[in-house]
Chains A and B, each alone.
Chain A
Amino acid sequence: MNKKTDLLQGTLDLLILKTLQSGSMHGWDIAQRIRQVSREILSVNQGSLYPALHRLEAQGRIASEWGASDNNRRAKFYKLTAAGRRQLAAEAEAWERFSHAVGLILQNT
């Protein structure tokens, strides 16, 4: 809990897209999932999450629909679009290369 890492600029989109790969979910779920999967290291500030969601939706990477949540309340669910899937693939690969390169430098110097 106390060793949170601030998200690098631009990585939030990648995390959202990746999280949505497993199916549609609402904003709060997305934040929870990121926190859990990263073992509480990464925490998404809600203040940036929703603008990011709206931005991705405006860009056509994700789509939204209103549905019932687990306890039957109305919630807005987001899911990946085809464009979002392509974007995810491209960004994931770019991230792999980037972190690999950073790793190499950290180990060898």
Chain B
Amino acid sequence: MMKALARRIRALFNRARMEAELDEELRFHIEKETEQNIARGMGPAEARRAALAEFGGAERFREECRDVRGVRLIEDLWQDLRYGARTLSKSPGFTFVALLTLALGIGANTAIFSVVNAVLFNHLPYPDSELIVSFEGVNPSKGITDSNMSVPDFADWRAQSQAFERVAGFVTGGALIVAGEEAERVRGTDVFGDFFPLFRTDAQRGRILLPDDAKKGAPPVAVLSHGLWLRRYGGDPSVVGRTIMVGRESTEIVGVMPPGFNYPARTEIWFPLGVDPAAERRDNRYLEVVGRLKAGATVQGAQAELDAVNARLAQTYVETNSGWGVRLTTLRERLVGEMRTPLLVVLGAVALVLLIACANVANLLLARAASRGREFAVRVAHGASRSRIMRQLLTESLQLSLVGGAAGVLISLWLTRLLVGLLPADTPRLDEIRPDVRVFGFALAVSILTGLLFGLAPALQASRANLNEALKEGGRSGGEGARGGRARSALIVSEVALSFMLLAGAGLLVRSFLHLRDVNPGFNPGGVLSMRISASGPKYPAGPARAEVYRQALERIAALPGVESAGAVLSLPLGGDTFNVGRSFIREGRPAAPEESANASYLVVTPGYFRALQIPLLSGRGFTDQDTEKSPMVVVVNETMARRFWPGESPVGKRITIWRDEKFPREIVGVVGDTRAKPGEAAGPQMYVPYAQDANWGSLSLVVRTAADAASVAAAARNEIHALDKAIPVYNVRPMGDVVDAALAERRASTLLVGAFALLALLLALVGIYGVTAYYVTQRTHEIGVRVALGAQARHVLRLVIGQSLRLTLAGLALGLCGAAALTRVLESLLYGVRPTDPATFAGAAALLGAVALLACLVPARRATKVDPLIALRAE
């Protein structure tokens, strides 16, 4: 065995010598044979000819001898590679077009895959991250999902379940870092339990937060993110141990986390959350919870355990816990679950583009194979086997696709950067997008598959070529047989079908996007500026003092030139502040059993809010400055709440109690229009309370309706607030239009991408149809010449050529229609206001594709009408 291997390796290296020896051996044989023939009485020339004839095809036979040596495959490969490189460099035009097509196709696929890989496939950047799960409070009977959880429940889960190694809770919010005059608002998180150990991440400098830090009376401490440390403290190592002002409190920095640790998303500073579970209420749900499963535990197992604990809690604490449960998902799924469908749709779209590119390159190769028919025939005649020729053609294709793939990887590096810029900034895991081994493996695999895919049809065709016909035909014009024609027809049909599917899908997404953009959000964002300000801390205690500072700030801003009205709200519509407060309420005169209690979004607003956003007042009145903590308690509800809870009657004058947060009833004084929380979802019940009657909230979003330039008003408004108090931070300053845009940003990105790929597909289809039609005309020049000579008019010729292409296009459209009808179903969850089989969209896509096909074959068809029968016939 070893000896055989050694012989093969030797043979490989001594290739030239072994070839020479083989030649010598054969030459010797022929000479001996010739001598013998002469001895038998033949003339020398005849003797030699007879010897050679007896020998048979020398080349075939040499190959058989090489075969025996077992190095044939490698030798052939090397030969094919050199031969392929030579042929490709001989037709630079073809090679360039094919390489460009492949590089773009593979590059786009690799770029999209690097995003999909980072966001969907890669593990989170923590050790054993697949064991980290996210808790989500749910109450199916009230239709509540995605709720936060209470501290006592958290403590019970931690104590009573066995599946978890660690659990931790946290509360996200803002933190105001003050240094001298300059205050900066950063995203801060208060953490509770084994937060950092759960992620198995230690501090890069200093230490992480410890349980003792959260104890009552412990000195305030904080841990910085790597980004904040670099940005604000220039990466100064001595910052650990330094005391900074956070809000009104001097806080010691005890550690800096390593780069890449930023959970929950974009947190820049972490504080210990000091709470006592025994002193907390079970219906005060404000905690977010994560857990790490013990090795070997499953999400299902842990879920079952928690369900049991929650069932016990619901029995013990009927009033607060009845109906409440927890849904566990892996943290990764929680973070990126919403991204899955759009990303996979984009990946599918770009894969279709690559398939179309493959069809185009295959077409180019088929045309080349046809004109190389003679070359193959000659090789077969010299004893090359058909599989040998197939192998050589496939080697050529793979050479093309691998070079194209290498160029594609380079393109993808650039495209990926472009993509990251295009995606909304709050896309989860955006900072983790970078090419890794898997991305390069993907590019390699796609290149090889592509090469096989577009190389197969031409290779099969060439290997089947009929020797005699090829030589005969080749003698004339290097034409191709009927089979080649069928192959290219099939390619065009599938190309058109794929393009149609992509166009139809893109059309549906674009129409959904346009519908969503035109959806009335319930307010008028035009000319409105929004900004968030915080007045809290000991200087502005919850209550009248805090209400007063907001009233003064709004009064000053409303007095600015160019400002029409100004108001403030707890959280902006369309997810502008990324949070929503929900509260239960009880209608007066109805039984107050917990299961009867209803839920609505809870918003505190200042009197100017409805006017500034032009939210219509449907009945009753809005709020005024006379609604204070001393005046009667009032509430305004939205249209949906009025219709749902007081069907057929006016709610104005009715009274509700916002249960468990307030122990007193409020009178409904007005009904306003709905404002949407998401562009694609109808509004739920909403209730508005005057800020003066619930001034517990430290931060509000200001909305300022301007008649003048928004940017100048922004600066003036900031000045007015700082004239009031320099320490009040003003942040998230942006036009309300940006809030509307941000709500659609992710959808815009995926629509844009699929749309761009559809256009690319259209372009490729155009090139493909043009190429095939042009080839058809060249092949039929003689036939067309004869027809013209026999009296055919230009329109007959046009009809012949265009008819040929349009038949293929129509077949492709029919096929694409079936494909699209089946495929656009996967888009369903992404569509808005349009069905997956929207006839108008499909018709539009078909019309566009048909027009492009017509355009593509018009030029060659016109050329066909110019065929001069004399020249065409003389060319024979």
- Chain A residues in contact with chain B, CB under 8 A? 26-28, 45-47, 50-51, 54-55, 58, 60, 66, 69, 73-76
Contact = CB atoms under 8 A, between A and B. Distances in A.
Interface stretch (B55-63, B131-139, B820-828): B55-63
B286 interface: no
Given A28-B33, A45-B56, A76-B21, A50 B28 contact: no
Contacts of B67: 51
A28 B69 CA distance: 21
B28 A76 contact: yes
A73 B24 CA distance: 11
Contact of B32 (A28, A55, A58): A28
B46 to A, nearest CB: 18
Contacts of B31: 73
Nearest to B66: A54
11 contacts: A26-B25, A26-B28, A27-B25, A28-B29, A47-B55, A50-B64, A51-B61, A58-B70, A73-B28, A76-B21, A76-B25
Chain B, interface SS category: helix
A107 to B, nearest CB: 37
A88 to B, nearest CB: 20
B28 A54 contact: no
Nearest to A27: B29
Contacts of A46: 29, 33, 54-56, 61
A95 B3 CA distance: 30
Contacts of B29: 27-28, 46, 50
B875 interface: no
Contacts of B54: 46
Contact of A54 (B32, B33, B65): B65
Contacts of B4: 58, 60
Given A26-B28, A58-B70, A76-B25, A47 B65 contact: no
Nearest to A47: B56
Interface string B1-33: 001100100000000000001001110110111
B21 A54 contact: no
B278 interface: no
A58 B61 contact: no
Contacts of A26: 25, 28
B61 A55 contact: no
Contacts of B70: 58
Contacts of B56: 45-47
A81 B157 CA distance: 81
A69 B28 CA distance: 10
B50 to A, nearest CB: 12
A9 B705 CA distance: 98
Contacts of A28: 28-29, 32-33
Given A54-B65, A76-B28, 19 more contacts: A26-B28, A28-B33, A46-B33, A46-B56, A46-B61, A47-B55, A47-B61, A47-B64, A50-B25, A50-B29, A50-B61, A50-B65, A54-B68, A55-B68, A58-B4, A60-B3, A60-B4, A66-B21, A74-B28
A46 B32 CA distance: 12
Contacts of A27: 25, 28-29
Nearest to B7: A58
B564 to A, nearest CB: 96
Contacts of A55: 68
A57 to B, nearest CB: 8
B8 to A, nearest CB: 9
Contacts of A60: 3-4
A54 B72 CA distance: 14
Nearest to A70: B32
Contacts of A50: 25-26, 29, 61, 64-65
Contacts of A47: 55-57, 60-61, 64
Contacts of B68: 51, 54-55, 58
A67 B33 CA distance: 19
A50 B33 CA distance: 14
Interface of B: 3-4, 7, 21, 24-26, 28-29, 31-33, 54-57, 60-61, 64-65, 67-70
Contacts of A54: 65, 68-69
A19 B29 CA distance: 17
Contacts of A76: 21, 24-25, 28
Contact of A51 (B3, B57, B65): B65
Nearest to A76: B25
Contacts of B32: 28
A74 B69 contact: no
Nearest to A66: B21
Interface pairs A-B: 10 shortest CB-CB: A47-B56, A51-B64, A54-B68, A28-B32, A55-B68, A76-B25, A28-B29, A54-B65, A47-B61, A75-B28
Contact of B69 (A45, A58, A66, A75): A58
A74 B25 CA distance: 9
A26 B27 CA distance: 12
A99 B3 CA distance: 36
A58 B1 CA distance: 11
A45 B57 CA distance: 12
Residue with the highest number of chain A CB atoms closer than 10 Å, among B3, B32, B64, B70: B32
Contacts of A74: 24, 28
B7 to A, nearest CB: 7
Nearest to B21: A76
Contacts of B24: 74, 76
Contacts of A45: 56
Nearest to A50: B65
A24 to B, nearest CB: 14
A54 B28 CA distance: 16
Contacts of B3: 60
A26 B21 CA distance: 13
A73 B30 CA distance: 13
A76 B292 CA distance: 76
Nearest to A59: B4
Contacts of A51: 61, 64-65, 67-68
Nearest to A43: B54
A64 to B, nearest CB: 9
Nearest to A46: B55
Nearest to B26: A50
**Residue with the greatest number of chain A CB neighbours at <10 A, chosen from B26, B64, B68:** B68
Nearest to B3: A60
A75 B21 CA distance: 10
A68 to B, nearest CB: 11
Greatest chain A CB density within 10 A among B25, B26, B61 is at B25
Contacts of B61: 46-47, 50-51
Contacts of A75: 25, 28
A27 B61 CA distance: 15
Contacts of B55: 46-47
A75 B56 CA distance: 21
Nearest to A60: B3
A66 B22 CA distance: 12
Contacts of A58: 4, 7, 68-70
A26 B65 CA distance: 16
A54 to B, nearest CB: 4
Contacts of B33: 28, 46
A26 B29 CA distance: 9
A77 B65 CA distance: 16
Nearest to B28: A75
Nearest to A26: B28
A54 B66 CA distance: 9
A76 B28 CA distance: 9
A11 B648 CA distance: 104
A55 B68 CA distance: 5
Nearest to B63: A51
A27 B33 CA distance: 11
A60 B7 CA distance: 11
B714 to A, nearest CB: 86
Nearest to B8: A58
A2 to B, nearest CB: 15
A78 B133 CA distance: 75
Contacts of B28: 26-28, 69, 73-76
